[in-house]
Every structure is written in C-alpha cells, then in structure tokens.
Amino acid sequence: MDWLIIGVSSACLFAAISIVDKILLERYFKNNWAYPFFTALFLGFYSLLILGYRLAVNLFEAPSLSIILIALLPGFLHYAAALVTTRALRQADASTVFGLSQINPFFAMLWGIIVFGNYYKPINYVGVFILVVSAVFLAWEKPQRSIKVLKFNRVLLLVLLGTFIRSFSDLILKISVTELAFWDAFALSRVGSLFPAFLLLTQPKIRQDIITPIISGGKRLIGIAGLVEIFALTNLILMTLAFSLGPLALVSATQATMPLFILIFTVLLNRIRKGLVPTLATGVSFQTRVLLGLGIVLGVLLIYM
C-alpha cells in the first residue's frame, strides 16, 4: 500500500463522513460555532488518549519546544479554516463552496515548489489540472437562490482564504511528520485545535450557540457526533500517513476524488431511503457527471505516472 491508495481511501472515507456531517448540520447544528467546536473537542480528546498511551509506555520522545509548537499549529489552522468555510456556507450553497474548495492541490503544488523544491513530470501537472477541474464541476450544483455579484465575490474570497489556510495546515503537518514520530506528529496536530475551541467558549454569545444543540439534542446527539469523529480520526490518520509517504501536492490532489465518492454514496443512500441525503437541483446532466467522474479517475492515474 502506498500514498496513492492511502490518499484515495482517505478521500472515500471523508466523503462518507461529509454526507453524515451534512445531515447533522442541516438537522441539528444550525449555527456557525457548534459543529466545529464538537469536531475539535472529540478529535482533541481522542488524540490526547493517543498521547497519554505513548507517554505511559515510554514511546513519546519529547522534542524541543519549537518543534512542539510547530506540531500544534495544524490544529489551530484547521480550526480557523473550518470557521471561515462555515461563514462562506452562510452566504452561498454548500455545493458551490465545496466545488470552489477543490483548488487546494494548486496551493499544495505551490508550497511543494517553494518549501521542498518539488518539481514533477509534465504529465503529473496535467493530471492535477484534470482532476481538480473535474472535481470542481462535479461538485458544482445550481444554487437555490440568486447570489449578487458582490456577495459572490465575498464568498469566493472566503473559500479561497479557507482553502489557503487548510493547505498551509497540510504543509506544516508534512513538516511535522519529518521531525517527529508519526503518531506524535498526528496527535499533537489534533490537540492543537482544542486551544482555539476553548478560547471561543469565553465569549458568551458563542458559548450559547455551542450549548444550544446539546440542550435540544441531548446525549444521543453527542453520542452520534462522537461516533462520527472516530471515523474522522481514522480519515485524518490516513491523510497524515499519506503525507508522510508522498509528495505534498500529489497527495493533496488525491483528495479531489471526494466529489466522485460523495456522488456515488448520495445516489446509493437516496435509493435506499428517498431524501435521506439533502441535495440541490443541479444543472449538470447525469451523462456529464459520468464523464467528469471518468476525468477524476484519469487525473488520479496521471499524477501517479
């Protein structure tokens, strides 16, 4: 098993998680702050368990303070990206935001060149381009409401900012796994998200928004969210492993296969139970979606050649 298989497997798992997230967001977590907080809380808690175990069996090798701070940074950045993306979702349809966010491999390719001096074969660049363009159009759906040009420009800037922050988080994570043992780098990167999450609890209005879903959903909702984040933790482990094995830009490009998996899972689940996964009216025909799906497969093959 290598970075390509691991990266695509991570995208497949993340697609399934995203569908569950979409259901939870639309039915239970209806504000900007609650779901990012609980995501950070559960992932941070599980990561603390990993660190605690490694400390207990003397596997954790204490690095310098500067390395620890670098390893914690991806958590801060990932939480910031989640908040920015959530703000964008308030101003545009989720599918539009998701489609625009597929440009992440372009940022990753830029980081790879600047930081690591990674240059690839021309066919790899062609593969990344085909993969990203196919993913953007596959994820793009017709919005339910009209969006003014000024508002759309703001949404575009928010999505670009969120995607840029997330790509920078991936870069720091890639650096961390070269300086630390894999499990230490991974766990510290998730623990880092706890700091901004608890900092926001000091704000009364935000604290109320976070508490409201707990009051309305009760223990059952918290249990479901905790279970979902176990799968999210598995996905993050796979991604961290892929980053430790492969080039930053090409590993990042494998995540652009996620819209294809989301489309497949959505069709299958809605056949089992109609309307289970909320969807928007799309301006892309089924035949075009099949071609775009094939474009994603072709892009994956080209980046590995």
pLDDT digits (tens, 9 = 90+) for 253-266: 888 888 788 778 87
**pLDDT reported for residue 147:** 44
Residue of 131, 123, 139 whose CA lies nearest to 294: 131
CA distance 31 to 212: 9
CA distance 280 to 127: 29
Is the confidence at residue 246, as pLDDT, over 50? yes
pLDDT in tens, 24-68: 777 777 777 888 888 899 999 999 999 999 999 999 888 889 999
CA distance 92 to 129: 25
**pLDDT reported for residue 134:** 81
Taking residues 101-106, what's their average pLDDT?
78
Phi-psi map region of 218: left, alpha, beta (phi>0 left; psi -120 to 50 alpha): left
Taking residues 142-167, what's their average pLDDT?
67
Average pLDDT taken over every residue of the chain: 82
**pLDDT reported for residue 151:** 47
**pLDDT reported for residue 94:** 55
Q: Which residues contact 269 (CB under 8 A, 6 or more apart)?
A: 19, 276, 277
**pLDDT reported for residue 226:** 87
First to last CA, the chain: 16
Stronger pLDDT, 11 or 279, i.e. the higher one = 11
CA distance 139 to 147: 18
φ, ψ of residue 274 to 5 degrees: the values are -60, 130
Q: Give the confidence band of 149 by pLDDT, cuts at 50, 70, 90.
A: very low
Is the confidence at residue 153, as pLDDT, over 70? no
Q: Pick from 24-28, 226-230, 299-303 the range whose average pLDDT is largest.
A: 226-230
**pLDDT reported for residue 196:** 92
Pure H helices in 28-148:
34-56, 65-89, 94-100, 104-111, 122-139
pLDDT in tens, 65-97: 999 999 999 999 989 988 887 777 666 555 566
**pLDDT reported for residue 242:** 92
**pLDDT reported for residue 255:** 83
Is the confidence at residue 142, as pLDDT, over 60? no
**The whole model's pTM is what?**
0.81
Listed in order, strand segments (DSSP E) in the chain are: none
Stronger pLDDT, 26 or 280, i.e. the higher one = 26
Taking residues 134-144, what's their average pLDDT?
64
**pLDDT reported for residue 150:** 42
**pLDDT reported for residue 285:** 67
